[in-house]
Each structure stands twice: as structure tokens, then as C-alpha cells.
Amino acid sequence: MLSNKDKLIVALDSKELDDSRRLTDELDSLVSFYKVGLRTFVTDGFNFASYLKNKGKRIFLDLKLFDIQSTIEETVAKLSNLDIDFLTVHGDPSIVEAAVMGKKNTNMKILAVTFLTNQNRSDLDLSLIKKGDIRKLVLERAANAISAGADGLIASPLEVKLLRSLKCTAGKLIVTPGIRPKNTSFGDQKRVATPSEAFDAGADYIVVGRPIWQSKYPKITVERILNDL
């Protein structure tokens, strides 16, 4: 059984890799899981992933992959060598299937993004996505991604309850960004929840970025988050 401490994923989104390294040193005793996004990965991702692994940390590589099946499969196979714990791909069934093929027998979990949470109905119209309430479409895409073999989903904390009402999400991971501890700035986030609200709704892991890496006192911020759980 995981402790609360192991269910907090800190997003390392500083522009400078050295800042992220310093942050992981400062949080070493408190945080066991880090999210590495595109911006950090393109800087020196392979070495940085090894650095985190050598510190005994788990890694969520948030690349939100989207491409033709052979490219996805080969890319995921290469990433499997890094001992990544979670990897994101877009939730289209062909992409999820290719990612699952690519990961072979590694323990890497393939997490599907349904829609980016900054997309609203008019963005979906522009992308020629079929008509319908976005929340219904999220459920449909989630179910399709799980049928295609996804190990879990990325979701806004406000969608978790609905997703958990689907039978097919039983035993699947739900990981939620869009987390704001009480009394912290929302930044550009609109649909947010506190860490304990996300867990109460059925999330397995929460991802917290700016409230921690932009904090003057990141260690105290993490301690507060963990104490609130």
C-alpha cells in the first residue's frame, strides 16, 4: 500500500535543469515521484532521467505522444530502456495500442490523455471533433483508451468522480494535474481542486507543479500538502 507521500508527483518545470536538480536535492526526503515534461526532456532528458533514477526516484514522463503507430511503438520501446514509471500518450486507440506494443514487458504504465484540459467545446469544434458535451466525450475517449490497453488516465480532478463511475476504470490509474493547495495562486489553471479533494474523488496520484517549484520555501509547501492529506 502506498503512503500519501508516494502519491504526490512534483512537476519539474523550471526553465533551468540545474534549478530542477537543486529542487530534487532539497525535497529528497519528502518526494519520491517526479514529472518530467517536454520542456525539460528536450534539454537533457535521458541524462536527467538517469539522474533521478540514481536518486531512487520514480519518473512520470509527460510527453503526450501522438504520431503514426510505428513511430509510437519504436519511441516507446526506446523510452522503456530508461526505466520510466508513467508515460503519457494521447488517448486515441491506435496510439494507445502502439504504445502498449512498444513497452513490451516493462512495468511502465501508459497513461492516456483524453482531451487537454485547456480545451473547451469551441477548441474541439476547430479540431473537427464530433458534437456533444465535452464531459461525455471525455468518458467515451477514456473508455476507448482503456479498451485499447491504457493502464490509466490523466484527468482534471473535477472529472475523476465521473470517470470512476465507469466500470472500465476499476483497477486503472487516474492521475490528476490541476491541483492547488488552499491559499495558493491558481496561475492559468481554471478548474482546480485541493489535493484532498482530488483523492476523495478517486484519484490515485496528484501532480503539483508551480505551487512547489515556484515557492520560496518548497520544502515547507510540500510538508503542508502532505499534512493536509
Q: For strands 86-90 and 173-176, give the pairing.
A: unpaired
Distance of CA 201 to the CA centre of its chain: 17
The active-site residue, picked from 5, 53, 64, 219, is 64
The position carrying cell 502506498 is 2
At its nearest, how many Å lie between ligand C5P and the CB of residue 195?
Answer: 11
Query: Which residue is nearest to ligand C5P, using beta carbons?
Result: 209
CB-wise, 36 or 96, nearer to ligand C5P?
Answer: 36
Q: Which of 37, 38, 19 is nearest to 27 (CA)?
A: 19
At its nearest, how many Å lie between ligand C5P and the CB of residue 117?
Answer: 3
Q: In the annotation, is 78 catalytic?
A: no
CB atoms within 10 A of CB 117: 20
CB-wise, 210 or 219, nearer to ligand C5P?
Answer: 210
Q: How far is CA 52 from CA 21, 49, 128, 145, 209, in A?
A: 9, 5, 40, 29, 17
Binding site for ligand C5P (CB under 6 A): 11, 13, 35, 37, 117, 177-178, 187, 189, 207-210
At its nearest, how many Å lie between ligand C5P and the CB of residue 83?
Answer: 21
At its nearest, how many Å lie between ligand C5P and the CB of residue 118?
Answer: 6
| Residue 36 burial (C-beta neighbours within 10 Å; 0-12, 13-18, 19+) | buried
Q: Are 223 and 27 in contact (CB under 8 A)?
A: no
CB-wise, 104 or 190, nearer to ligand C5P?
Answer: 190
CB-wise, 102 or 209, nearer to ligand C5P?
Answer: 209
| Active site (catalytic) residues | 64
